[in-house]
Each structure stands twice: as C-alpha cells, then as structure tokens.
Amino acid sequence: MMLYTTIVVCLSFFYVLLFSFYSIGWIRIPYFIPSPVKGTTKVSIIISARNEEDYIRNLLGDLLAQSYPSELFTLIVVNDFSEDQTASVVEEFLDNRIRILHLEDYVPDKSIIKSFKKKALEYGIRESLGELIITTDADCRFNSEWLKTIVSFYESKQCHMIVAPVAFLNKNGFLQGFQAIEFIGLIGITGAALWWNTPLICNGANLAFRKESFYKVGGYKGIDQVSSGDDVLLMHKMSKRWSRGVQFLKNTDAICYTEPQSNFISFLHQRIRWASKFKYYANPHIHINILIPFAFYLLIIINVILSFCGREYFLLLAVQLIIKITAEFIFFVGVNRFFKSRKLLSLFLQAQLLHPLYILITGIGGIFYTPKWKGRKIS
C-alpha cells in the first residue's frame, strides 16, 4: 500500500506541475493587437474538401467577405474524390478568387494514396501563388477580420508557422458542452506549450505557414505514410528546423469556428483518430506531456474500483479528484476568459467526472483501434 500511495502522490505532484506550466504559459501569451496598416502579403487559402456540400457554401461566403484586400488572396478548394455535390456548390461561386482542383486529376489511382488529405493539400499548395499558405476545413466559419488579423501577425512576427485558435459554434446540451470544454482546454494547451517553445498539438482548421518554409522542411515527406497529422506532424517538422519558428496567435478575431460532433459515437471516433497520431510523435517532451495525464487518469479509474475494497483507496481517490478539479479549473478559467463562454462553467464539474474514463478509452483506442473518417480507415 505504501508503494502504491507513493506512486499516486508522485503522479499527482507532476500533474499539478504540468497544469501550472500550462496556466502560466497561457497567461504569458500576449494578446495580439493588429497593425492599422493594411497588409501586403499575398495569401492562398487551401481547403481539402470531401463530401462537404452541406457546409462549404457557408465557408466560401465567409472567406469572400474578408476585409483583407481582395486582390491579395485566393481560395483553392481541392475536391478529394467527393461523392456528393461539393464540386457543384463550389462552381456556383462566380468569383475569380476561387479555384477548384480535383485530386483525381493529380493522383488518378486512389490505391497508392496513404493520406488523402495531405495529398490534397500538397496539390493545392503546389498550385498556389501566395507567399503565405492558410489551411482550413470546409465546415468552418470566420468573422470578416480573421484573414487581416492572421496576415498582420505574420508580417509583425515573420514566423514560419502560425497556430490560431479554434472553437465550437454550438454548445447546447451536455455532449456539445463537454466537447467545447475539452476543446478550449486543448487550445489552451496548444498556446501554452508554444509559448514555452515545446510545441505539442495544433489544429489544421486554422493553420498558416510560409510556402517557402513548407518546402524547406520537405513538405509532408516523411510523414505522408500517416493518414492524419497534416497539422501536428508538420508543426513538429517546422519547430525542429526553426526554434521559436512556430507561434500562437492570441486574438479573438483570429478564431476559427467549427461544428462539434453530433453524437457520442462520432465524437469518440474523432478523438480516437486524433489520439492515433501519438505513436508518430518523436519528441520525448510530447510523450511526457501526454503520458502523465494518462497515467494519472488511469489511477483515478483504478481507485474508483479499489474504493469498494478499502477506505484508504477512497481517500486517495478523493485527493486525486480534488487535485484534478482544482488544477484544471484554474487553467480552464484562464483560457475560457479568452473564449468568453461563461455558460460552460456550469458544466465543468459534470465534465470532470466523465473526463478520466473518456481519456482512457480514446487513448487505448488510438493505439489498438483503426477508426474511419468519411468512409476511409485512418492509420
């Protein structure tokens, strides 16, 4: 019992230390104020789209309505073998800033493609004319200042990659609220880790990088055998090449809004797909940042079971839950102040009770289960 207690206490200490690291990092990220001077950078926005007829019209409408000078940006939609009317919806827009490409024209033999999204983005980047590349997803929404804010940050910092925030549009009901709470936490961890120059994760729905830098690191070469990871694995390549070359953009106008998953099964599949990238992370600090919470949550579940066997295990469980809730609440409140989603605070305690079990399921699933995404298996 003494050895087990020591293990729980040590993991709890490292867990608090880790979230203190995140909380301090997030607070220290300066809020970016865009320059009043108009940007001059040419931008290409690349969208890989597969079966997105329900969403892509809204996305293109938002992008065409950007306040950034219209002559300085273009939109490239790469149709990833869509089986619906995605291409037809894009072609409805009679705007010379929009160009549609078809992945089947680039790689007609689907059997040789391991990562369709990376191939689509690679095709779009190759055909682009912009100095700055921005990737996003077809189900995203933006306010009119989004592009101007990103370009202003790029011209001010001259970094190689910009990681920008992502949030959910609808947060009604427990499932959507749980996703929103978790996602706010992930964005906070993303920004905090970048401030400490130890990049962990990012989201390709709101990612910008120099076209020149993309080719200097070899693009997706070396990570193209992985079906996902067009965002995180590329970020790791760039951060390895340029210290402090990847930066987080902290500004509410730069937020990309997307839809949460509609049901629990699709939510689990999405998170398992995200977790499956863990085995391809090469940096030891990434493994440490992921394994500490995983082991801590595993002990919580074990202590829930052992609580029926003895009072001492119940006390350990109580201490762990107090530590978890306190550390994460301090962190969450700091990040949530940026996203301004006060109503999520009422769901925070409920989400905490589900969180350890969910992390274990997705973590183990990411190792042993191959999820599907839009009808394709993810490796």
pLDDT given at position 372: 63
Q: What is the pLDDT of residue 273?
A: 78
Percent of the chain having pLDDT more than 90? Answer: 67
Q: Find the distance separating the first CA and the last CA of the chain, reported in whole Å.
A: 40
In this structure, the answer to whether residues 120 and 205 fall within a common structural domain is: yes
pLDDT at position 17 over 90: yes
Q: Are residues 207 and 237 in the same domain?
A: yes
* Cβ 249 vs Cβ 259: under 8 Å: no
The reported pLDDT for the residue numbered 258 is: 94
> Percentage of the chain with pLDDT > 70?
96
Q: How many of the other CB atoms lie within 10 Å of CB of 97?
A: 17
Range of the domain at 336: 2-26+283-377
237-247 in b/e burial notation, b at 16+ Cβ within 10 A? bbbeeeeebbb
- Provide the pLDDT for residue 2: 83
Report whether pLDDT(111) > 80: no
Pair (94, 241) in one structural domain: yes
Domain assignment present for residue 176? The answer is: yes
270 falls within a domain: no
Cβ distance 294 to 365 under 8 Å? no
How many angstroms separate the CA atoms of 183 and 198, rounded? 19
Do residues 13 and 159 share a domain? no
Residue 374: phi and psi, rounded to 5, are 55, 45
Domain count for the chain: 2
Domain assignment present for residue 99? The answer is: yes
Q: Are residues 331 and 247 in the same domain?
A: no
Per the domain annotation, does 278 fall within a domain? no
pLDDT tens for each residue of 292-306: 999 999 999 999 999
CA 25 to chain centre: 18
Q: Determine the pLDDT at residue 378.
A: 58
The domain that holds 77 is classified in CATH as 3.90.550.10
Nearest Cα to 114, choosing from 211, 216, 220, 236? 220
Whether residues 148 and 15 fall in one domain: no
- The pLDDT value recorded for residue 295 is 93
Q: 56-70, 123-137, 299-313: lowest mean pLDDT where?
A: 299-313
| 37 and 10 within one domain | no
Work out the pLDDT band at 270, boundaries 50, 70, 90: confident
Same domain, 311 and 245: no
3-state secondary structure 108-147: CCHHHCCCHHHHHHHHHHHHCCCCEEEEECCCCECCCCHH
In a domain, 342, yes or no: yes
The one-letter code for the residue type at 47 is I
Of 171 and 163, more confident: 163
Q: Is 6 helix (H, G, I), strand (E, B) or coil?
A: helix
Kindly tell me if the per-residue pLDDT of 136 is higher than 90.
Answer: yes
Q: Which is higher by pLDDT, 226 or 240? A: 240
pTM of the model: 0.92
214 assigned to some structural domain? yes
Q: What is the pLDDT of residue 12?
A: 94
Q: Does residue 82 lie in a domain region?
A: yes
| Residues 11 and 135 placed together within one structural domain of the fold | no
Q: Which of 106-120, 128-142, 145-159, 237-251 has the lowest mean pLDDT?
A: 106-120
Decide which of 200, 232, 263 is a domain's last residue: 263
The pLDDT of residue 331 is 96
- Under 8 Å between Cβ of 234 and 223: yes
**Mean predicted confidence (pLDDT) in 63-88:** 96
Record the tokens describing residue 219, joined without a space. 């693009």
Averaged pLDDT of the chain: 90
Distance CA 113, CA 122 (A): 12
Q: What is the pLDDT of residue 370?
A: 66
- Predicted local distance difference test score (pLDDT) of residue 326: 95
Residue pLDDT, tens place only, 188-228: 999 999 999 999 999 999 999 999 999 999 999 988 777 67
Quote the CA–CA distance of 327 and 332 in Å, as a whole number.
9
Residue 379 pLDDT more than 60?
no
Mean pLDDT across the stretch 67-80?
Answer: 96
Q: Which residue has the higher pLDDT, 227 or 176?
A: 176
User: Is residue 280's pLDDT more than 90?
Assistant: no
Residue 244, pLDDT above cutoff 70: yes
Q: Report which of residues 106 and 206 the model is more confident about.
A: 206
Within a domain: residue 274?
Answer: no
Highest mean pLDDT among 83-97, 172-186, 352-366: 83-97
Q: What's the pLDDT at 328?
A: 95
Cα–Cα nearest to 257, from 325, 164, 332: 164
Mark whether 181 and 218 lie in a shared domain: yes
DSSP 360-376: HHHHHHHHH---EETTE
> 56 and 101: one domain?
yes
Res. 159 pLDDT band, cuts 50 70 90: very high
* Residue that the structure tokens 């001259």 belong to: 158
Q: 301 forms bridges with which residues in the sheet?
A: none
Quote the tokens at residue 1: 């019992």
Measure the CA dihedral 352/357/358/363, to 10°: 130
Considering the domain architecture, whether residues 195 and 337 belong to the same structural domain is answered as no
Tens of pLDDT along 143-154? 999 999 999 999
Cβ atoms of 15 and 323 closer than 8 Å? yes
* Owner of token pair 């839009």: 374
